Structure 1
């Protein structure tokens, strides 16, 4: 099992909820007042029988109109058509925008036409009924008409290598995934475990639907990760995208 990081970029988000690319080498933090700065990093994982993508980023394109996610996948040595499963933790825009490629000419295409999109059924239903700007229903409308969709519920296994678990906490129908091949275990915690700092500092985040539950889940996953030697993938971390958890003195550190 091999993990490839697919860093899409750093973005500032203010009250307008628009994601604006931010490069500290070019831009100034002072020019983005009252903004939250977010790193976006999907992951590609090679399994024996699958090429799995964890969440799809914002779906931004470069100056040539190429999907940044596609370019990163090619840089990892694959073609986007090689992806067999797109495993979604949830459908907030910063995780789901790249499920489709919205081109400059106004045409929309599936980003991964040969892949199965695996989505929690409750999250899918929430995406259509919610009034939150975090959900972009135009994307889901297109998927519904064109994509291979697989809806899952609760906890279970897609196959012998891929397990999923309903967590809620960040949003009511958030889910996480654990991949297992031989002695290797890779955990994708989505926005329940988005950065190492949230595990190490152990705090309640205001952006979670149930912040206390999210905090308790991070501790529980941290203990399991340390005990079972999971490689954890951190979707919103730039400096430390992956790592192994060590338990110490009632807390954790990442190596």
Structure 2
């Protein structure tokens, strides 16, 4: 029979069972190399959105069924991703997150840039895929430029659309906020002489080509990076999520300015990515949002990049 001292040595200390739960997550960034380029996926956070009512050309019951098949429901957790590219010569941010516009679960971009080892002042260029608030709101902090040394590059179609006061005046009340937020976010760069517009399918920064994928917004553009034989296309909002629209590209979303054109752009983006086999990064695909597109028996499939701790 064991003595009392021996028994006490075998009994777990009560304090270990009562450790406080931490209830916080690690900084959300993921680093990988694309040839000679360092790519850092950055999370601005996540937000729950009712995909069953936001998707159109479908029914809420159908979306609920598809989501339940992958253990999800609506509202669904949507990622808001941005991408930082260090070419060795320039530090370029693709999209700028939400800033303070869309609630406390978002607006994490600056903190994650810093956690990844960089400072906002180091960024040479910000290149927007388009001027929706979840991509442009983070351009400002307290009304000032969050990236004070950066040039801001935006497709001219989007600048003409979102910064036109006549468009804002004519917009329905449900959309007036988008115009106001666009003006608030971009005007500080205009005032500082830092805004540069680019044409369709242009190369606004050396090594950063664009593809006009209109529909989601008039100037919505994907960004193409190539280095040492490897290719990454940063999609912007070709999809919202990584489930429904890959099997059914004809399903659009309420955020599209022109759903029919957005569907055409999505089908073209899917086909090209599957044909060429290059890496893709999506702004609203589950963080870090990087992977491949393949064809399958039901249309297309999203294949997340295999995690690697080796650069």
Instruction: Report the more deviating stretch, 182-191 or 215-224.
Output: 215-224
* TM-score using structure 2 length: 0.65
* TM-score using structure 1 length: 0.78
In the TM superposition, what are the counterparts of 1:67-216 in structure 2 within 5 Å? 68-102=108-142, 108-129=143-164, 130-131=167-168, 132=175, 133-135=177-179, 136=181, 137-146=183-192, 148-197=194-243, 198-207=245-254, 208-216=256-264
TM superposition shift of 1:151: 0.6
Instruction: Report the more deviating stretch, 148-157 or 192-201.
Output: 192-201
Higher RCO structure (Cα 8 Å, ≥6 apart): 2
Higher helix content, 1 or 2: 2
Equivalent-residue separation in structure 2 for 1:69 and 1:140 (angstroms): 17
Structure 1: 5+ residue stretches without partners: 15-33, 62-66, 103-107
For the aligned residue pairs, the C-alpha RMSD in angstroms reads 2.5
Equivalent-residue separation in structure 2 for 1:2 and 1:253 (angstroms): 26
TM superposition shift of 1:218: 1.8
Q: Does the 8 A contact of 1:186 with 1:233 survive in 2?
A: yes
Moved over 6 A (4+): none
TM superposition shift of 1:254: 2.3
Q: Which residue of 1 aligns with 2:42?
A: 6
Q: For the structure 1 residues 114 and 240, does the alpha-carbon distance in structure 2 shift closer, same or farther, using more than 3 Å as the test?
A: closer
Structure 2: 5+ residue stretches without partners: 1-36, 51-73, 102-106, 169-174, 304-311
Equivalent-residue separation in structure 1 for 2:241 and 2:234 (angstroms): 11
Asked which structure has the greater CA Rg, the reply is 2
Equivalent-residue separation in structure 2 for 1:53 and 1:238 (angstroms): 19
In the TM superposition, what are the counterparts of 1:8-47 in structure 2 within 5 Å? 8-12=44-48, 38-47=78-87
TM superposition shift of 1:35: 6.9
